[in-house]
Each structure stands twice: as structure tokens, then as C-alpha cells.
Amino acid sequence: MIPVDRLTPFEARIEHAELAEKIARWDKAYHGSDAPEVADAVYDAARRRLGAIEAAFPDLAGKSPLAGKVGAPAADGFGKVAHRIPMLSLDNAFSDEDVAEFDAKVRRFLGLAPDAALAYMAEPKIDGLSINLRYEGGRLIQAATRGDGALGEDVTANMLTLPEAELPRTLGPDAPDLIEIRGEVYMSKADFLALNQRQEEAGEKVFANPRNAAAGSLRQLDPTITAGRRLSLFAYAMGDASAPPAASHGDYLDRLGQWGFRVNPRIRRCADVAEALAVYRSLGDERAQLAYDIDGVVYKVDALDLQRRLGMVSRSPRWAIAHKFPAEQATTTVEAIDIQVGRTGALTPVARLVPVNVGGVMVANATLHNEDEIARKDVRIGDTVIVQRAGDVIPQIVAVVADKPRGPMAFVYPETCPVCNAHAVRPEGEVIRRCTGGLTCDAQAKERLKHFVSRNAFDIEGLGDKAIEFLWEKHLVRTPAAIFTLEEANRASLTKLENYDGWGKRSVDKLFESIRGRATMGLERFIFALGIRQIGDATAKRLARHYGSLEHWRQAMETASDEAKADLISIEDIGPAVAKDVLDFFAEEHNRAAVTALVDAMTALGGRVEDARKADASSSPVAGKAVVFTGTLTTMTRPEAKARAEALGAKVMGSVSKKTDYVVVGADAGSKAAEAGKLGITILSEQDWLALVGQV
């Protein structure tokens, strides 16, 4: 694997996109189907690699289908519950150094000195299913899963099968009028083994691990099935609340215990990072003896007022991190080395292995990244290698076992695409060899279609990878627009889709219904689905919010005037490289034609591309306003100021333009303040800004 600091910007963009696509698929399998495709260590390593790339290449930060997303969409069989306070996932740490950097980031954001007091709570990370319990007037009224973080599943009836000792139905008289208590539903190791024994005796499916068993049991449409399986609950967090029940997280946990909830007895308050790491090592030593599975330790800033100030970024809170336990390794043999072609034409080598059990999960594939990596490690077909479930999107080969017999020949990297036979070029200074076939390469075209229907794009149910492969091979779908004409083409022909093996009338009707349901799509999803390089979910949302409508966005991009370019670059987190990729996309006639054909096909089904949702102007005085911060602020750090502004509905810009509404200046403000003066833009001091938003 190439170290992140050795990646070129081009290589980083490619790997970033491929990582994001894989992780999105894994999320759907893990959270939506309770059927994980890869081990936790593999998933964690992929997330870590993605984060490392985004840290090294800030232009990529937030520009993936994962930005702001956790979990998977709520299943159709349950009622939907919108979480007023998102149920976030956690960033991961894998070393003491990662934890120290987390502490440093918290301090930088809050403006705290390195030696200032900052306490943490250290909690065992239970491997189960997150739950949100809503109490009104002290009575339990609803239980919901995390879902995708914003929308979960109503599993109230299933949760009520837990005994009162696990799930209190009422709280004490000191409870707020409204409070959401969050925790983890899990299955103990003993209950898991007993369940699997009963399943096996009955000839039913056995579960891979306690986490899957707990998730599968809680997400049953028939509550009597849930009632027959013993589930447990640890409470550890808070969602929405009409009034804060405590001043610190530790005090809140004490209050939960007073209300009758089970709180993990191994949670400890730590005066600093050193104490938190001591808890991590202690829990690691006793992990095997615990009655339940844990896969790490969670550190949370103890003071709730500091948690509120820190807020969140995308999918994770700034005030917490999960310190995961180490990955495991195993030894196996390389049977073959295949070349995969990605959406952008990147040729990626993958080792096919004799399947080996690595920490309880069978591993049969491992990434080799590129030809330089193969040459550096000298991996050959027939070699005995060490495989680790960490470090990349799929397990990686750590090294060749030197004292074992070697493969007879070094691997020869292809100079042509294995799919379309087009020349594969490797530009000077780069390590990625790339197919030059473009849209004439079936592999690239199919991968782009898979991106178009992916979860954070059009998210068309029934059009997974296998369906796209099938429709492509039958020449039924070769462009995004063809998806929306698929029903008309099949209904009008003698050969209908349901006549093919594997397709029945019911499945086809459901697919067509899903396609019709996606004929109307929000602008941010539409932009993301186009697959423009470097445009991930978060950037698509920024573009949608900035331009408002597809018509305005297309007009600005196709005009590509100096003013349009400057306006594009002024958007927060969109630099010249990203702007160039967007403008280059619209510079191609076939791309413009594809967008037009897609919109026409959606319109023919009665759909449209919806304008971006505008912030409610009555919600705050800066909702919808374009704001630039410059200089050194005194009451808060600039990251905190930007986070608060965005929470109030403002559009935080990276540079000043004619469309900027306010420029907030701190000490030593430079060129941005001067530019604002020239353009006649309202300049606010830090105190003026705080007064405007009602924070003084």
C-alpha cells in the first residue's frame, strides 16, 4: 500500500472514490441487511484510509457518497422515524498517537491550552445495534433504530418485549418532559450460543456473531420472534431533550442508573488521555472474559457544554472517538493475481488467495494497489504471504514469507485493458495505470451506471450491481437516461424483461415502480449521481445550495465565464482543482447531451429535478446568507464559528465575491477584508456577528 504522503493528487482522487463506493455498499449490507460483507477490521481500516486521504488532500474532504451518512436506509417493513438529533457514527483511532491527536484537535477547536484540564469518559464499545428511546412525560412512547442516522425504523413493539429490568417503561419524577435515551441493544455470548443451538436444532439459519443475532432479532416484523430471543441493553447517550438532565456525561450516566437503566459498570471518568489509555489497555486484557462482545473503547468529552460547542462534522461528533482493538493477521497462499478496472479506468491488481480464517472471518481476496506495490513486495502467484485485515478497502498483503517456496515468475503488469484491450497508460510521476478506452470500455461504463443508482445518488431499489451487469449485457441499459425509458421499451416490445431467467413479473413491476418513484430527484442527489470527479455527496449539497436549481447551475457551468469560475471557487471547500473538474465535465458535448437526455427521460415519467431546499429565513437572521470569516477570532476558533454559522443556515464561503452578504473580521484580517471593502460588502466585527445571531 502506498503511504498517503506519497500519493499524487490524481492517485488520491481515484483511491478516495473507490474506497467510498466500497464502504457505501458495506454500510448497506451491515446496517440494512444485518449481513456484513467484510470484517469490522477491514471496514475500520477502509474508513481510516479514507480519512487519512482526506486529511492529506483537503479538497477531497466531504466529497464522497459517505459524507454525512451513517448506517443504511430504514427497511421498508417498519414505520419510519425521523431523528431530531442525528444518530451519528464515530471516528476511529487505532493507536495511542491517534488518541493524542484527537485530544489535540478538541483543544484546537475549543482554543484550550495543551495543559488545560479536559476530562473524558472511557466506555467499552459494545458490538450491537444502536437504539433511540423517546420518553415524554416520563413514559416510553417510541423506540427507533439508527437507520441512516437521520431516519430510523420504529421497533417499539419489539423493544417492549425486553423486561422492565432491561428497559424501564417510566422514568423518575425528575425526568425532563421530553428526553431521548440512547444505547446499544446486544446479545450476550451465552445467549448467542444458546440461540444458535436452537436454530441449528430447528434447521434454521445460524448467526455469524452476537451482533448479527441481536440486529436480526430486533428487526423482526413479528415481535413474537423477538420475544423468543434474549436481548440486553446498555444505555450510554442522550438525543433530544427539553432540558439538560445533567452538566456532565458522567452525571448523566448516574441519572440513567437512577431511572432504572443498566449502565456499563466498566465506564470510567479519566482526568486526561493517559488515564483513558490505561482503561483501554485494561479492557483489552479482560476482553475475552467479558460476557458480551466489545471491539474497542469510546472516549467522550465529559462536559456536556463542551460537547455542544464541539458539535459534529459530517457523520461524526467532534467530542468522541472510538479506539479500536488491533487487527489480526494470518498466512495463506496467492492463487492468482487479477486486474480490476474501475469507474475512472484505474487498473487495480487484486490477489486471489486460498481462503484463510483471519480473526473469525474467511478472507479470499487482498488488494495489491498498483504495479509499484507488487514490485516492491515482489508478490508472485504461488507465494506464501501474510494477510492483515486492516489498511485498505479489502484485506492487504503485509509481506511475502521469505522462508517459504517462492512463485516461479515475477508478475508482469498488463499494458492493455483486460476488458476492452485499449492501451493502458501510466502518466509520468503517477503510479496508477489507466485504461484509455473511456466510455467505450464496458467496465468503466458499467461502474458509472452503478454509481448513478447507488445509495446517495438515485438509490433505485432493485438496481444493484448484479442487475446493472445483467441489463448491460442484454443491451437494455447503457446510459442513465435508459433506466427511465426501460419500462416503456419493455412494455412496447414482444420480449419483456420478465421473460429473462431470474426476472419475474413481480420483481419487474417492483423495479419499474422504484424507477418511477425516482423520476423526481433533489438537485443535490442529481449532481452527485452524475459522477463528476471529486464531487462527493457533501460537495454536491454545497453546489445545490449555492445555485438553487439545475437550470442556474448548468447555465453557469456551460457559460464558464471568468465570473462564473470565480463564483464557483468562492464556495467553501471548492478549490481550483475541483472547479476545473466540474467545468471540464460540462465542456464535453457528450456529457451535456447525457444530462439533457436524462432530464427529458425523467420528465417523460412525470418527474423533475427539484430545486435545492432553501433555509427558512425566519429561523435565523443569517439563514441563506453567504458569510466569509477572516482573521483571528477571540470568543471562539474559526472552525467553531463556521460550524455555528452553518448550523444557523448560513452558507460559509471560502472567498469573497459579489454574492457574499457578510464578511466577519477578526484580528489581523487580510486581503478578504480589503476585497469586501472594495465590493461594498457588509463587514462585521466578531461582536457584531455575535449580536446578529443572538449569541451575546
- Residues involved in catalysis: 125
Distance separating alpha carbons of residues 344 and 445, to the nearest angstrom: 9
For cell 477502509, name the residue.
46
8 Å CB contact between 156 and 134: no
Which one-letter amino acid corresponds to residue 181? I
To the nearest 10°, the Cα dihedral for 257, 260, 262, 264? 0
For cell 438529533, name the residue.
85
Distance separating alpha carbons of residues 685 and 102, to the nearest angstrom: 31
Residue 138 half-sphere exposure toward CB, CA atoms < 13 A: 8
Smallest CA-to-CA distance from 155 within 92, 226, 258, 89 is with 226
Which one-letter amino acid corresponds to residue 180? E
Residues 6+ positions from 582 with CB-CB distance below 8 Å: 532, 535, 543, 557, 568
| Beta strand 329-341 pairing with 384-388 | antiparallel
Distance separating alpha carbons of residues 563 and 572, to the nearest angstrom: 17
Smallest CA-to-CA distance from 631 within 581, 674, 665, 580 is with 665
Distance separating alpha carbons of residues 111 and 93, to the nearest angstrom: 22
Smallest CA-to-CA distance from 383 within 418, 411, 364, 348 is with 411
Burial 230-258 (b: 16+ CB within 10 A, else e): bbbbbbbbbbebeeebeebbbebbebbee
Task: List strand residue ranges (DSSP E) for 255-393, in order.
Answer: 268-270, 294-301, 312-313, 316-317, 320-324, 329-341, 347-358, 361-367, 384-388
Q: Write a three-state SS string for 141-200.
A: EEEEECCCCCEEEECHHHHCCCCCCCCCCECCCCCCCEEEEEEEEECCHHHHHHHHHHHH
Smallest CA-to-CA distance from 346 within 432, 427, 417, 412 is with 432
In the numeric block, which cell numbers belong to residue 578? 475541483
Distance separating alpha carbons of residues 155 and 378, to the nearest angstrom: 52
8 Å CB contact between 19 and 393: yes
Smallest CA-to-CA distance from 646 within 627, 630, 663, 665 is with 627
